Copies of this chain bind each other. A is one copy, B any other.
Amino acid sequence: MNNSEDTTGQEHWKIPGDFQGHALPGSFLIFLSLWWNSVNILKYICKKQKQVYLYSKVWIHRAELLDGVILTGMVLFGAISLQIYAISGSQLMWVLRLHHTIIYTFYGILGVTKILSATINSFPASLTKLALSNAFLVQTFIMYNHTHGRFTMDVFLHKILALATFSAGLVSFMEILIKNNITLELMRASLIILQGTWLWQIGFVLYNPTGGFEWDLTDHRNNMFITIYFCWHYAFAYIIIGVNYAVITWLVKWRLRKLGFSQVPLLKTIVQEEESEEM
């Protein structure tokens, strides 16, 4: 299932594409990841304080419904603008557009599943996780079979995007089995941000909108630079999630202090350490 026939002297071509087609889904993913991450952190902190949790349940439920609606809206917007603006003409471009349409379709299924899960009773809650995992794994499958006949660097850029989507799919799948684990949720969030920023990176490398530096897409050595960029993106995503966690924790504590709830000390003492570990 390897489409990059470098060794057989086949012809390669530069795929006509556009920067916006990568930046738009990239922005969607970054937005969604921060949204989901914030809700997850809020839930985690509130659950630690039982009385607050009962109070915040209504808001979390509404957030989940809104989440599904926004996601479906995004997918519709992305899929329709893809049909209108995507460069067409050759049969190859038509196939590539279909590839993207399928990815949007599976995110659409995720959106519908989220809405159903938030409204219908007796709906197994982990089905949204299954739909999420499916969306990522189908995207990986598409990415892996998407780059037939392209230049070395183009193939490599999409292969490591597939690495990110595969990891996100795997973590989502684990969340079907292990529920409400904050570490898995944080990891998933960082992997989705990584996908989003990496889509921006692909847009900049292949179709630089500023018309600046032009990469030599046939040079194998450039892959070693791309490796570095990918790790920087991941470190960046990791730090964003960390800052988000810190800000939300601080906001909740500040709000609780104003409302007069019993306060948890910030610095760890030895007795509490054990509890948090057992959780």
The answer to whether B119 touches A267 (Cβ under 8 A) is yes
Selected from B44, B126, B228, the residue in CB contact (under 8 A) with A102 is B228
The answer to whether B6 touches A235 (Cβ under 8 A) is no
The answer to whether B274 touches A57 (Cβ under 8 A) is yes
Q: Determine if A221 is an interface residue (Cβ-Cβ < 8 Å).
A: yes
Chain B residue, CB-CB nearest to A131? B238
How far is A186 from B272 in the complex, measured between Cα atoms in Å?
A: 26
Given A8-B6, A120-B268, A183-B126, A159 contacting B249 (CB threshold 8 A):
no
Chain B residue, CB-CB nearest to A179? B277
The answer to whether B57 touches A270 (Cβ under 8 A) is yes
Chain A: interface residue total (CB-CB under 8 A):
85
Selected from B92, B186, B227, B232, the residue in CB contact (under 8 A) with A130 is B186
Selected from B58, B123, B228, the residue in CB contact (under 8 A) with A268 is B123
The answer to whether A156 touches B1 (Cβ under 8 A) is yes
Interface of A is mostly: helix
Q: Which residues of B contact A262 (CB under 8 A)?
A: none
Q: Which residues of B contact A39 (CB under 8 A)?
A: none
CB distance from A130 to the nearest CB of B (A): 5
How far is A163 from B144 in the complex, measured between Cα atoms in Å?
A: 13
The answer to whether A105 touches B220 (Cβ under 8 A) is no
The answer to whether A1 touches B159 (Cβ under 8 A) is yes
Q: Which residues of B contact A202 (CB under 8 A)?
A: none
17 further A-B pairs in the complex, CB-CB below 8 A; given A141-B227, A141-B230, A176-B184: A3-B220, A92-B221, A95-B221, A96-B224, A105-B235, A118-B268, A119-B267, A122-B264, A122-B276, A130-B183, A130-B186, A130-B187, A134-B238, A138-B234, A141-B163, A176-B181, A177-B184
Residues facing B in A144-181 (CB within 8 A) are: 145-146, 148-149, 156, 159-160, 163, 174, 176-181
